[in-house]
Structure 1
Amino acid sequence: MTNTTFKDQTNLLEKINRAIPNSIYIFDVVEQSMVWFNERVQAMYGYSVEEVRAMGPDYWAQTMHPDDIPYLAESLAKVLSLKDGEVIELEYRFKDQKGEYHWLSDRVTVFTRDTEGKVLSLLGVATDIDDRKAYEETLKKTIEKLNMSLGAANMGTWEWDVLQESARWDARMYQIHSGESNMEANALAEFRKRIHKEDAEIVQQRFDEAVRLKQDVYLTYRVTWDNGEIHHVRCYGRFLSPGQDSRIYGVCWDSTEEIQTERQIEEARAKLIANTKMAALGEMSGGIAHEINNPLTVIQARAFQLTQMVESGRPDTEKIKQAAESISRTADKIAKIVKSLRSFSREGSNDPFDIVSVKEIISETLEFCRTRFYNHGVDIVVEEVDEELEIECRLVQIEQVLLNLLNNSFDAIQELEEKWIQVKVEAQDEYIDIKVIDSGIGISEEEAEKIMLPFFTTKEVGKGTGLGLSISSGIVKSHNGELFLEPRTKNTTFVIRVPRLQQNPE
């Protein structure tokens, strides 16, 4: 009966050993060598027990990652002081017979002692965690990428626990609200301390409404720094209600310069109309917020997606990679839009002439209106432009002329079934032609004779001042060039002709 029981136990242990997906081993502390390990080790890493035993005291040097050996030596000292039944968990890299390293999570305990209680051998159960480490590394890079993207957009992130009435800010949030990254301060107390008194009530109402209706919140408010400066903050929050744990996650950014720029645009718009300056920027001002808010929404959505994956414990490496790439592309788009916005907010007539890439002129101008065109079903086609092609000009003014032509084409083709605009560059010996071609069938000869005159417009009443082309023509002439409607073309074609180099700029 006893023999039968022993055989049953032996068979059971063998079955358990084969079924366990972990590597099990016994390590001789005195000899500093491996005594035994199960078949799983040889199956996964290629070593036989005899091969590892032959390594003797060199076992660590031959199989462990050099960077992990000091950590393992320190951990061994801790293991030797373990009491029976206690376990220590280690993570390290193990080299297989092919020379490739694998991350292991190892649970180690004392296996045998001598009569004096000194540890003789250790029992370890190691699990291959390559997949987990790869995910952690991907997640780390994704978070770094996210932080870089948020940093590029100068955004801070925040979390508000509605039920607990508590909030968490990152360092950038404190800097946005106070000018300093003092993370020791209570986030809600700091917010209430800094918010402008005139804005406090409406902000509270907006957040209360978001909680009541379980919806997202988007608002702008002012904060006061210790030095007395007033800063404008724009804030977007996404409401989440998983079960009873209601939270709002969001981003904030200092929009002081952005708002100041918007005011400059409005002032420029009034000045342009009042003083017969170019009206193109005024026509585009309504699309500024849309151009900026779209990419910000993408960043928030991707950040929310990453948060959900982390909190759910179900990471998807491919989705993490896609989210990181989307965040990177979107941050670049925001930077381009802001750069264009700053350029177009200036009048530019006092700027010096500079050597500028024609491709840069077209690219920066399109960044300012591409989304608006796309949303209205207008295709933009830009023929390949030689990167080395340059002209001497006032960049802001030439961009304004190009923008005005693009806007005119946009307005002209709105009612057409086929809507497209093409930008084409032709290089001559002494000058460059930038052509804006649209799907319109051209302009009558009668209108063509008047189209460059001040206050003449083919647009409906209230949709144009009639100043754009006349002012644009004046700008191009100040560059010793010419703006004209190309005759006898199948589609409406305007040409900005500018010399490569300025001889006597006005």
Structure 2
Amino acid sequence: MITDLLKDQNTLLEKINKTIPNSVYIFDLNEVNMVWFNDRVKDLYGYTLAELRALGPEYYARSMHPDDIPVLNAAIEKSRTLKEGEVISIEYRFKDHNGQYHWINDRITPFSRDDDGNVATILGIATDVDDRKSYEETLKKTIEKMNMSLSAANMGTWEWDIERNRLQWDTKMYEMHDVPVLPGLNPLDEVWKRAIREDMENVNRRIQEAVDNRQDFYVTYRVTHSNQQIHHIKCYGKFMSNTGAPRMYGVAWDSTEEIQTEREMAEARAKLISSTKMAALGEMSGGIAHEINNPLTVIQARAFQLQQMVDAGKMDPAKIKQAAESISRTADKIARIIKSLRSFAREGTYDPFEVVPLKQIIEETLEFCRTRFYNHGVEIEVGEIDPELEVECRLIQLEQVLLNLLNNSFDAISDLQDKWIRIKVTEQVDSIEIRVIDSGNGIPEAIAEQIMLPFFTTKEVGKGTGLGLSISAGIVKSHKGELILDRQAPNTTFVIRLPRWQEEEALSY
């Protein structure tokens, strides 16, 4: 039965004609007109065969997009010389009955020949590719926008075939690496020639980890240009394996100016910190002088006592020992004050982190202001602190933060009747919390939102730069902590939260 059906070619062709989703047609090359087409043409484009044949010689001009007519004419001429079984493929825009253009993918092959063996009619199978063309157009616009964005951001793009170890760059990549665009140059080899070797070793390690774990990566490295200038390159790569062979695609950009700007900002910030510290030292100078004058008075008194014993010829060994010990203790106190003063005046931004007892940090800071506070009737109370409690920090910077908070409290409560400042320390498993509390009634909500902003101050003109809290917050942040105002506390309370240990910085490569 199946064999009989196959022998009935008319039935077979009719069934194919009814079910095929494409437009099938026969076109006369000599008359340049349509001979026949299947029902799909009318379904898709609204024409009857009679309507298209009625166009006559104007068939192309009235049914095709003007820009595509040269392509069609060239295809017609080429189809005249096609061999049996040979196929050509073209794409053009065809106008439907309502005047709308549709993209067509057309595959053409000879259908019949004249007595001289030349192709007389062609068979075409046309597929509507509007959706594909729309996607391609959208993709094209997306790529154009992406390229504009990359160009505006001075970014280059790259692609790496992992299995073949082939790296492809766009022109921006060549430019930022100072590599000439020449045939036969391998970008990988050129990077190795120009990059800092230790950087590339780290880059290779990070990329290998990304390949092994099938994940993205982010690295930075330095390259030396022909003028001997060092350029910093940042690179991001995305692992892709859903397109067959595993590949990586990514972007890179020259961050030299960015890094230079960061350095300049760091230097400017360091100068601001230094000037703020000098202002704080100026404010404390009277108290520091008193801190030193008091022990000097003790030393003078003990020295006078020893001198009297010598003059009187009464050398009491016990009294001499007592006077000498008193002088030694007092001299040590002066030495501690001067040491703290010299350390505090020094810039500590680039000091290494060190493990320091928290009690030592607080006691050394109080050396600057204890007498000043006492002379103005401000009571200082420090809660119990475990002598073994340590924190990894930059000592000078942390002392500066504490001193700034203490000075702010002093200024805020100096006109109050009840004047006190308390320092409380609480310990968590991996962190500590230092609270500086004063007898003030807190900070108004309208101001609380702004107190951490640079140059904001509530002090009188000439008495504050508005940089203290901003810089302090930055220092605490650089210690991976936070400086906050506790708005729920009944009295003015600033809280320093710090991790006890600084985790090792991630490699920048």
TM bucket by the smaller chain? 0.5 to 0.7
**Partner of residue 9, structure 1:** 9
On the 8 A contact 2:218/2:235 being kept in 1, the answer is yes
Deviation of 1:166 after TM superposition, in Å, equals 1.9
**Partner of residue 256, structure 2:** 256
Deviation of 1:163 after TM superposition, in Å, equals 2.8
Report how many aligned residue pairs link the two structures: 304
> AA paired with 1:257?
E
**Partner of residue 229, structure 1:** 229
On the 8 A contact 2:111/2:122 being kept in 1, the answer is yes
Quote the Cα distance in structure 1 between the aligned partners of 2:277 and 2:56.
86
> AA paired with 1:50?
A
Show the 5 A alignment for 1:336-415: none
TM-score for both structures, normalised by structure 1: 0.54
**Partner of residue 139, structure 2:** 139
Show the 5 A alignment for 1:150-299: 150-178=150-178, 180-182=180-182, 185-242=185-242, 245-276=245-276
Deviation of 1:99 after TM superposition, in Å, equals 1.0
Quote the Cα distance in structure 2 between the aligned partners of 1:456 and 1:91.
70
Deviation of 1:127 after TM superposition, in Å, equals 0.6
Deviation digits for residues 297-316 of structure 1 (CA, Å, limit 9, x no counterpart): xxxxxxxxxxxxxxxxxxxx
On the 8 A contact 2:6/2:12 being kept in 1, the answer is no
> AA paired with 1:36?
W
- Stretch deviating more after TM superposition (199-208 or 125-134): 199-208
> AA paired with 2:218?
Y
Deviation digits for residues 205-249 of structure 1 (CA, Å, limit 9, x no counterpart): 322333334433222111122233321111112233459833332
- Stretch deviating more after TM superposition (227-236 or 97-106): 227-236
- Stretch deviating more after TM superposition (186-195 or 66-75): 186-195
SS at match of 1:178: coil
**Partner of residue 88, structure 2:** 88
- Structure 1: runs of 5+ lacking an equivalent: 280-435, 466-506
- Answer yes or no: is 1:454 the counterpart of 2:464: yes
Quote the Cα distance in structure 1 between the aligned partners of 2:175 and 2:278.
39
Deviation of 1:442 after TM superposition, in Å, equals 10
> AA paired with 2:70?
P
* Seq. identity, %: 54
Deviation of 1:47 after TM superposition, in Å, equals 1.2
SS at match of 2:55: helix
SS at match of 1:275: helix
Deviation of 1:116 after TM superposition, in Å, equals 1.4
Quote the Cα distance in structure 2 between the aligned partners of 1:243 and 1:38.
38
TM-score for both structures, normalised by structure 2: 0.54
Deviation digits for residues 296-353 of structure 1 (CA, Å, limit 9, x no counterpart): xxxxxxxxxxxxxxxxxxxxxxxxxxxxxxxxxxxxxxxxxxxxxxxxxxxxxxxxxx
Quote the Cα distance in structure 2 between the aligned partners of 1:42 and 1:256.
63
**Partner of residue 120, structure 1:** 120
Quote the Cα distance in structure 2 between the aligned partners of 1:100 and 1:68.
15
Q: 1:13/1:249 Cα in 2 relative to 1: closer, same or farther (>3 Å)?
A: same
Deviation of 1:438 after TM superposition, in Å, equals 6.2
Deviation digits for residues 20-57 of structure 1 (CA, Å, limit 9, x no counterpart): 11111111111111111111111111111111111111
> AA paired with 1:83?
K
**Partner of residue 109, structure 1:** 109
> AA paired with 1:193?
K
Q: 1:448/1:270 Cα in 2 relative to 1: closer, same or farther (>3 Å)?
A: closer
- Stretch deviating more after TM superposition (228-237 or 5-14): 5-14
Quote the Cα distance in structure 2 between the aligned partners of 1:456 and 1:64.
73
> AA paired with 1:453?
K
**Partner of residue 474, structure 1:** none
Q: CA RMSD, aligned part only?
A: 3.4
Quote the Cα distance in structure 2 between the aligned partners of 1:223 and 1:124.
58
Q: 1:203/1:460 Cα in 2 relative to 1: closer, same or farther (>3 Å)?
A: closer
Quote the Cα distance in structure 2 between the aligned partners of 1:171 and 1:150.
12
**Partner of residue 59, structure 2:** 59
Q: 1:455/1:68 Cα in 2 relative to 1: closer, same or farther (>3 Å)?
A: closer
**Partner of residue 74, structure 2:** 74
Show the 5 A alignment for 1:16-27: 16-27=16-27
Q: 1:101/1:273 Cα in 2 relative to 1: closer, same or farther (>3 Å)?
A: same
> AA paired with 2:463?
L
**Partner of residue 50, structure 1:** 50
Q: 1:54/1:464 Cα in 2 relative to 1: closer, same or farther (>3 Å)?
A: closer
Deviation of 1:453 after TM superposition, in Å, equals 1.9
Deviation of 1:265 after TM superposition, in Å, equals 0.7
SS at match of 2:177: helix
